[in-house]
Structure 1
Amino acid sequence: MNDLRTIALVAGVLLLLSVVTGVGQFLKRHPDRGIDAAAVRTFNLRIRGWWVLCTVLAAAFWLGSTATVTLFGLVSFWALREFITLTPTRKGDHRALFWVFFLFTPLHYVLVGLNRYDIYSVFLPVYATLFVLARAAVAGDYKRFLERTAKIQAGLVVCVYCLSFAPALLALPVAAGVDGGRDANFRLLFFLILLVQFADCMQYVWSRVLGQRLVAAAVSSNRTWEGLLGSATSTALLASVLWWAAPPFEPWQAAIVGLVVAIMGFAGGMTMSAIKRDRGVKDYGTLVVGHGGVLDRITSAGYSRMANISGKAMPRPVRRNSISMRCWRARSTGCSTVVHAPSSAQRGSGCRK
């Protein structure tokens, strides 16, 4: 990770965290400023959690793509553990869970690391899902069969499948002719994670400042329509300002990405809130102080990353700048198709296996 723009983005985030940390400590030492002490304490805990998250991510990026994929694999494993811990299971589910934790989850991330999009895109939602059903049935326990297997499958999709699309961005050619090589992919991933965290923060801030109408009072008492609108607008503006850090986007494209990230992150947060209400818990864990458990933090990122990479992988009209994307799709599916560009000068160019 030696690209100057990548280093500038990471350094800028760390500098911003330093400034915000200073503000939080100032407010803590001057309680006479009229700001609620509980809000300041929560704010400082969240800042501490952001320091942990950003430092770990930056270190993984610096070590390379293998370390990054491994990090996300460990996070998925931990999140799935939190999810299953709160999900009632029976003895007949234990063998199926063994295969889920120690075969399907690691193997899925191995496929992500090998850039086998053709396999990992269907490995969990198809093959693992069918295996869980069959293995639970072979165990001979039919009580609440559909309910039990559906919960395991939901955990796989939310905790493993969706989140794995984040490191999958590292194997995605962002655009032809983009400077920085593979560093551009790290910069794009860091940019998107930054947007997810910013959108989550803005959702909370705008809901506290202007929140009037709750989206679903029975599910979440602090998520409002005003918070969603403010978060989407703020995130789109930030993305358009930082467009230079997000190849291959133009400012207006980066703004759309920010909008999608905010909406999908909101959807992920509501999903986890509904599950927590169903299980009667406030947080999934306490791994990161001020941020609850791993599962509390990764759902928004998982929803957003899956939407982002799915949008980038969709077929587009052939243009000069889309040749690298089509080459990537051809390599990941193992085909030897020749991609022809529209102009005569480019005819016959493309990729072969």
Structure 2
Amino acid sequence: MFIVFIPIYVFLFLPVPRIIGKGTLGFLRSVSFTQWGMMLMVFGLSHLAFYSSASPEYGPNLVLYLIVLTQVNDVVHSIISLYFGRHKVVPTSNPNISWEGFIGAFLTTTIVSYVLYPYFTPFGIQYGVLSGVLISVTGYFGSLTVSVLKRDLLIGDKEKFETLQGKYLSRIDSLTYTAPVFFHVTRYFFDFM
């Protein structure tokens, strides 16, 4: 039920109050905002809570492992992009996301995951390397997607955009992607739970 409730039932029935209340005018934009937000902030992040209930012994360690690696990836990516980033990925949405930052964060996150996996996970070396690669790549796409999403929503509203700079959404954008992907790979390929 955890895996299907939000993506299926909420997706199907969430538009009903909107249809009854306001009809067709602006329907697609309104419903897509709500559903995209639910998928990112509720469904994506809710995977973190599922670890502990699924495995009281290893769940909290896996959550900590995921959060540490996601943050390492974000910080290294930001620092390298800031000082060495010459090739911007999407300069119109976020000038701080560069290919140099991606490569540096990819290598660093993979090395850190290799060093940390014996302390946080019950799995072997293959998991240690794969989890670093996986978290780095999915974190990058999460950060990029949320950056584009924020820019699109705030086009023309420079004051609101500056207010949102550095807020919580920038801290968890990568986690909205890394949490579900890390969960599913751990669950289905490494026989966790």
Same fold (TM over 0.5): yes
Describe how 1:227-306 pairs up with structure 2 within 5 A: 227-280=101-154, 281-282=160-161, 285=164, 292-306=166-180
2:76 matched residue in structure 1: 202
Question: Contact 1:202–1:230 at 8 Å: present in 2 too?
Answer: yes
1:158 matched residue in structure 2: 40
For residue 223 of structure 1, what is the amino acid of its counterpart?
A: I
CA deviation vs aligned residue, 1:18-56 (integer Å, no higher than 9, x gap): xxxxxxxxxxxxxxxxxxxxxxxxxxxxxxxxxxxxxxx
For residue 261 of structure 1, what is the amino acid of its counterpart?
A: I
| Aligned-residue offset at 1:210 | 2.3
Larger fraction in helix: 2
Distance 1:120 1:253 in 2: 24
Over the aligned positions, Cα root-mean-square deviation in angstroms equals: 1.9
Residue 130 (str. 1) matches residue 12 (str. 2): yes
Runs of 4+ in 1 over 4 A off after TM superposition: none
Change in Cα spacing, 1:120 to 1:231, as seen in structure 2 (3 Å) is: same
CA radius of gyration, larger in: 1
Distance 1:172 1:131 in 2: 28
3-state DSSP class of the match of 2:121?
A: coil
Greater RCO, 1 or 2 (C-alpha within 8 Å, sep 6+): 2
3-state DSSP class of the match of 1:237?
A: helix
| Aligned-residue offset at 1:260 | 1.0
Show structure 2 runs of 5+ residues with no match.
155-159
Residue 188 (str. 1) matches residue 67 (str. 2): no
Distance 1:244 1:168 in 2: 22
3-state DSSP class of the match of 2:67?
A: helix
Distance 1:125 1:152 in 2: 12
Change in Cα spacing, 1:284 to 1:136, as seen in structure 2 (3 Å) is: farther
Change in Cα spacing, 1:129 to 1:263, as seen in structure 2 (3 Å) is: same
For residue 134 of structure 1, what is the amino acid of its counterpart?
A: V
Describe how 1:15-164 pairs up with structure 2 within 5 A: 119-164=1-46
3-state DSSP class of the match of 1:139?
A: helix
3-state DSSP class of the match of 2:29?
A: helix
Change in Cα spacing, 1:284 to 1:142, as seen in structure 2 (3 Å) is: farther
Change in Cα spacing, 1:142 to 1:294, as seen in structure 2 (3 Å) is: same
